[in-house]
Structure 1
Amino acid sequence: MVRSAHDPAPPAWASAQRDGLVAWAERARHPHGFAWLDDSGRPREEEGVHTWITARTTHVSALHARERGGAAGELAEHGVRALLDSLHDGEHGGWFSRVDFEGAPADTGKAGYQHAFVLLAAATSCGSGVTGADRLLGRACAAVTERFWDEAAGRAVEGFDRGWTRAEPYGGANSNMHMVEAFLATTAATGDPVWAERALRIADFFVREQAAPNGHRLAEHYTADWTAEPDYNRDRPDDPFRPYGWTPGHSLEWARLLLHLEAALPAPPAWLLPEAEALFATAVRGAWARDGADGFCYTLDWQDRPVVGAHMHWVATEAIAAAEALFRRTGHDSYAGLARDWWTHLRACFIDGADNWRHELDARNRPARTVWRGRPDVYHAYTALAFACDLAIPGFAVRTAQPDGAA
């Protein structure tokens, strides 16, 4: 994107923000991984150490180390060690969802969501030369392939008990979306195209088979045989991982991932770009400024009425990243304009000091804690800033706009 003197996210500012986010994440360092921080940057002991937070922090640290080296590299090494040791189940394989502050398993379930992020962290760390990352990637590839990947269905199952004896009777779009992200990073790290091919199969099901016939509103929740459950968690609409209704922020993430998938495939199908644009347009139309104030509504019902009107920082950052990716792919100035508008909104409402981003606001953009307590991770914010800095991230390229008439 062409930057100007009036750019709300100039590269120097965005670069400093990335430094600040990694410094904030360093506060979460714990002997067994990375802790969940409160609003002041103190670890929340009651949460223990989550695998998804540890893996996402490792991923961000490895990305930062690729450019900066130094402390970020050491932080990534710490994360890799924790994923190889404290959070790994040495008896049954795979990764615990959470351990307590003493390192004892606190949630022994084996979740696809958690394993997707372990795979992502391992692939990114391998690409950055982090010590131990190759061993972690080997373990993660094996666990995902042997336990989670359903070759017949062409998507990933949701989870198991500790001993892999009982599969959860649920299918999730969220965990599969992050598998797409992890698979693309793994293809980049290993050179093995099978991971990108698997990512395409996942995307084909959720985007073309599920979202497109439903006006590009994606059902998040499914039975074990992949029948959509549109009323799932109607009585728990603000669940942070499985909320009722459809989640525009995930549609924005899917839009960007479809563009990355297009760039990763030697012969990408023609539907990836138009479906990315349709997902993006539907999400923005449904979620932006629904309650009289700027911001993206967290969830909508199937008539596009707000269910949880809170504004999440992760949705704003994913909207920016998707808009910037679509601008690079199409050259359409409208996408660049939206990214600038949303950066202005994000800087005015979410950034709380040099290295501190609020995770949640209410519908009037006041600090809130309806869904998220504290500030557990910096992964989404770092993604948006990476686009503002034009970083080249292996596995997450975007094909650039071509002159009229070019292939």
Structure 2
Amino acid sequence: MTTPLLLEAMKTDPAHAAWLEEVGTDLLEWGAASRTEHGFGWLDSNGTLDPDHDLELWINCRMTHCFALASIRGTESSRDFAELAAHGLSALSGAFHDDEHGGFYSIIARETGEPVDDSKQAYAHAFVVLAASSLVEAQIPGAEELLETALEAHARFFESEHGMFADTYSRDFSNCEDYRGINANMHSVEGLLAASAATGRLELFERAAVIVERALAFAKDNGWFLPEHFTTAWEPRPDYNREEPAHPFRPYGATIGHSFEWARLALHTAAGFEGQFSDATRAQERASALRDGALALAEKACETWGIDGDGGFPYTVDWDGSPVVHERMHWVVAEAIGAAAVLFRTSGDAAWEERYESWWQWAKTTTIVPGRLGSWVHELTATGEISETTWKGQPDIYHAYQVTLIPRLPAWPPLAHAVATEARSR
């Protein structure tokens, strides 16, 4: 049986491909307004810099990653995306880097570039690895040195006895928080896959694969709702943050957007096994298990669509599937769309194509501001009103920009390497 591929379908649907390109370009234009002297700042809902926010490492990395992708693709614009990517590299190598203790500061002052929060967070360091990998693929001068520095710093969080990354250290890496989280490990997988492709280091791929397998095991043991929070021995903490359920990074309950992200990353990893170890029986077995886990995780997340409103996914649900935080986050639907694209491509199941189209239609009518495709409302109520319970402003283009690319690229190699391969083939 011939399996239909979303990638091929989109190449025969120029209108949709052109619309994705338009949305992506507008997002880049929106994000370019975040440039400041020392990096990239926090944008408000009008697309201007919010003076109440200093410069956060994860935002700077995400912006740098997106501009590097645009530079590789040669996106048509009056903006010089290579220069913006280089600006991000300069900020990461300069003001954000701790020259004394190593690693990268979490937050620096917008006006001076001095550290405001000097803790070292695995979540943000994973994004340094991702950004640096994309900069290498974009051939930005200094990128290889930054990637090596980032990988060395990121590795300091790794706990070999658990095969997972710790979460937060003090500035000098002497004290580690009594908390372990799946979120930092998810983005570590993303960064390690990208770094493996950029450097050819298969041990980085293997480390990522083991983490994905561990995460899927946690989800399977919990009815395919993935626990987010753990003890230092990696025992689930199901009641963590019950009193602060809408936390932007550590919410209580199951985070639906993360289920879709993990599903997509599992499929990328499975494709990586097949692409790099096609003759290895064990690799094929691992790839098959990853695909099965990705499908189970995504199907469970799909059960929450419109559970408390006219559509959309709630931010979080309780362990029985009932909504906890009802708000609709832009990044959740973006990740759902991306996962649906890769699930359809890798399975051929038309149900995922239907979901892909349906979820895009919902995003078009609720989340993307008409006439301003770069403006994605970051948070809505279950009934569609603008909300700021968890997120203030519109600081992030990463999830939205990536989902304009994922449907047009193969499941392997990772995003920046795939974009670079496509650019070289023109």
Q: Structure 1 length normalisation: TM-score?
A: 0.94
Q: Given that residues 299 and 309 in structure 1 are in contact (C-alpha distance below 8 angstroms), is that contact kept between their aligned partners in structure 2?
A: yes
Aligned match of 1:345 in 353, 362, 370?
362
Partner of 2:49: 43
Give the letter aligned to residue 328 of structure 2: H
Aligned match of 2:232 in 201, 205, 224?
224
Q: Given that residues 308 and 326 in structure 2 are in contact (C-alpha distance below 8 angstroms), is that contact kept between their aligned partners in structure 1?
A: yes
Residue 380 of structure 2 is aligned to residue 361 of structure 1: yes
The structure with higher relative contact order (CA 8 Å, sep 6+) is: 2
Partner of 1:273: 291
Give the CA deviation at 1:331.
1.0
Instruction: Give the % identical residues.
Output: 41
| CA distance in 2 between partners of 1:194 and 1:126 (Å) | 18
Q: 1:184-233 deviations in whole A, cap 9, x for unaligned?
A: 0011000000011001111122211x110111111100111111100000
Distance 1:282 1:131, change over 3 A: same
Distance 1:45 1:74, change over 3 A: same
Q: Given that residues 10 and 388 in structure 1 are in contact (C-alpha distance below 8 angstroms), is that contact kept between their aligned partners in structure 2?
A: no
Where do residues 1-400 of structure 1 align in structure 2 (5 Å cutoff)?
Answer: 1=6, 3=9, 10-68=16-74, 71-101=80-110, 102-145=112-155, 147-208=156-217, 210-265=218-273, 266=277, 267-268=283-284, 269=286, 270-285=288-303, 287-352=304-369, 353-390=372-409, 394-396=413-415
Give the letter aligned to residue 355 of structure 1: G
Give the CA deviation at 1:74.
1.0
Give the letter aligned to residue 230 of structure 2: Y
Give the CA deviation at 1:389.
3.7
Q: 1:243-299 deviations in whole A, cap 9, x for unaligned?
A: 0011011000000000111122222402101100000000011x2101131101100
Partner of 2:422: none
Give the CA deviation at 1:364.
0.5
Give the letter aligned to residue 34 of structure 2: A
| CA distance in 2 between partners of 1:9 and 1:389 (Å) | 13
| CA distance in 2 between partners of 1:264 and 1:22 (Å) | 28
Give the CA deviation at 1:37.
0.5
Q: 1:103-160 deviations in whole A, cap 9, x for unaligned?
A: 1111111000010000000011101111211111010011112x11112211111110
Instruction: Number of aligned residue pairs: give it.
Output: 395
Give the CA deviation at 1:367.
1.0
Q: Given that residues 268 and 411 in structure 2 are in contact (C-alpha distance below 8 angstroms), is that contact kept between their aligned partners in structure 1?
A: no
Give the letter aligned to residue 251 of structure 1: S
Give the CA deviation at 1:381.
0.2
Q: Any gaps of 5 or more consecutive residues in structure 1?
A: 398-407
Give the letter aligned to residue 395 of structure 1: P
Distance 1:356 1:8, change over 3 A: farther
Distance 1:237 1:207, change over 3 A: same
| CA distance in 2 between partners of 1:22 and 1:393 (Å) | 24
3-state DSSP of counterpart to 1:370 = coil
Give the CA deviation at 1:328.
0.6
Give the letter aligned to residue 28 of structure 1: S
Give the CA deviation at 1:308.
0.3
Give the CA deviation at 1:388.
3.8
| CA distance in 1 between partners of 2:87 and 2:412 (Å) | 21
Between stretches 6-15 and 245-254, larger displacement belongs to: 6-15
Q: Given that residues 27 and 401 in structure 2 are in contact (C-alpha distance below 8 angstroms), is that contact kept between their aligned partners in structure 1?
A: yes
Give the letter aligned to residue 306 of structure 1: P
Distance 1:174 1:298, change over 3 A: same
Partner of 1:405: none
Provide runs of 4+ in structure 1 moved above 6 Å.
4-9
3-state DSSP of counterpart to 2:315 = strand
3-state DSSP of counterpart to 1:42 = coil
Q: Given that residues 268 and 412 in structure 2 are in contact (C-alpha distance below 8 angstroms), is that contact kept between their aligned partners in structure 1?
A: no
| CA distance in 2 between partners of 1:9 and 1:347 (Å) | 15
| CA distance in 2 between partners of 1:385 and 1:292 (Å) | 26
Q: 1:154-179 deviations in whole A, cap 9, x for unaligned?
A: 11111100011101110000000000
| CA distance in 2 between partners of 1:75 and 1:239 (Å) | 31
Q: Any gaps of 5 or more consecutive residues in structure 2?
A: 1-5, 278-282, 417-426
Distance 1:94 1:86, change over 3 A: same
Q: Structure 2 length normalisation: TM-score?
A: 0.89
| CA distance in 1 between partners of 2:343 and 2:320 (Å) | 26
Give the letter aligned to residue 118 of structure 2: T
| CA distance in 1 between partners of 2:309 and 2:137 (Å) | 44
Give the CA deviation at 1:355.
1.8
Give the CA deviation at 1:8.
11
Between stretches 266-275 and 185-194, larger displacement belongs to: 266-275
